[in-house]
Amino acid sequence: MEYVVLNGEIIERYQAKIDVEDRGYQFGDGVYEVIRVYNGIMFTGREHLERLVSSAEKIGMKLGWTIEELESLFNTLIKKNGIGTGIVYMQVTRGTSPRNHAFPPAGVSQTLVAYTRDMQRPMNNLANGVKTILAEDIRWLRCDIKSLNLLGNILAKQKAAEAGCYEAFLHRGETITEGSSSNIFIIKDGTVYTHPANNFILNGITRQTLEKLCKANGVPFVEKEFTTADLLAADEIAIGSTTSEITPAVEVDGQPVGNGEPGPVTRKLQTLFQQEIERQCGTLAVNS
Ligand code: PDD
């Protein structure tokens, strides 16, 4: 039996019904999060839930559940579904109301949906790296909000998939912003560079964790815009996200990054990141 969260309840997956006029379905009017689970424990769970609250606030929604309530619901869900290594996905929409672009009247309740999925760590990508392409960033100007509207991201990811690649690196003019579903780090002469956390990128929790780890371990970490030319001239490139962890990028648009193999700084970042996972969630099995 698989369970999901619908509003404040944990129910069987196929009992969960959402109205056709839910605003998430009709407008993408809502926000979401993806939290990694290792050894049945949410990794950086607090940070993700705080970002959910903040994304909601940025679109004029005061979340109908507290962080403590959400934590408790998701911990129960993880247990009930027997998740060891996986994810919790959650989304909150502005609720169900007759279709009208303006917000629904006061009193309409938000819709909260959450489910879990078994998902192993991407061991092969972590070890060998992935291929990537460049794509134009056609998204809106509030990429800092983890909004359900992901068309710009989806179209870029599909372009990558059709090119046999894992990720699309987005650029606005000459400036690289982020990946279609990840943050990007370039490494030059031992320094890690990433786009500043402003409205052009999602301030990833992986990115924030990595920044803290770099600062605590003497790895130079700089938030600064960089260009496609800088990206192509980088010694190493790494991709960071909840599901990808710290994945090396070894090719961009068919050109090798550095010598075409994951580099030493990326390996160090991976080690620091894995140590942080193990500190929060316990020892990881060798292959999961
Ligand atoms: N994506 N930038 C974008 C556009 C993203 O969609 C994501 C995450 C990130 C990295 O954020 P974090 O480190 O908090 O996962 C950056 C998630 C995993 C997704 O949509 O599935």
User: What's the rounded mean pLDDT across residues 168-173?
Assistant: 98
Give the separation between CA 207 and CA 197, rounded to whole angstroms: 10
pLDDT tens for each residue of 193-211: 999 999 999 999 999 999 9
Give the separation between CA 91 and CA 74, rounded to whole angstroms: 12
- Is the residue at 286 inside a domain? no
Number of folded domains that form the chain: 2
Where a domain ends, among 118, 145, 177?
Answer: 118
pLDDT of residue 205: 99
pLDDT tens for each residue of 147-164: 999 999 999 999 999 999
pLDDT of residue 190: 98
Q: Which residues of 242-264 are buried (b: 16+ CB within 10 A; e: fewer)?
A: bebbbbbbbbbeeeebbeeebbe
**The two three-digit tokens of residue 228, written as one number:** 């496609």
Where a domain ends, among 95, 118, 141?
Answer: 118
Q: Look up the CATH number of the domain holding residue 184.
A: 3.20.10.10
pLDDT of residue 285: 87
Angle between helices 264-281 and 205-216 (to 10 degrees): 100
CA of 201 from ligand 1 middle (Å) equals: 10
* Helix residue ranges per DSSP H, 221-260: 228-232
What pTM was estimated for this model as a whole? 0.98
- Domain extent, residue 47, equals 3-118
Is 80 exceeded by the pLDDT of residue 215? yes
Residues 147 and 257 in one domain: yes
Residues 110 and 149 in one domain: no
Residues 176 and 266 in one domain: yes
pLDDT of residue 286: 75
Give the separation between CA 182 and CA 245, rounded to whole angstroms: 9
Residues 36 and 172 in one domain: no
- Is the residue at 287 inside a domain? no
Residues 205 and 248 in one domain: yes
- Is the residue at 196 inside a domain? yes
pLDDT of residue 288: 54
Where a domain ends, among 118, 150, 170?
Answer: 118
Residue list, ligand 1 pocket, CB within 6 Å: 34, 153, 178, 181-183, 202, 204-207, 240-243
Q: What mean pLDDT, rounded, does the chain reach?
A: 98
CA of 247 from ligand 1 middle (Å) equals: 13
Nearest CA to ligand 1 atom 16: 182
Residues 134 and 224 in one domain: yes
Confidence of residue 83 (pLDDT cuts 50, 70, 90): very high
Q: Look up the CATH number of the domain holding residue 32.
A: 3.30.470.10
Backbone angles phi, psi at 175, to 5 degrees: -85, 130
Residues 259 and 168 in one domain: yes
Nearest CA to ligand 1 atom 9: 182
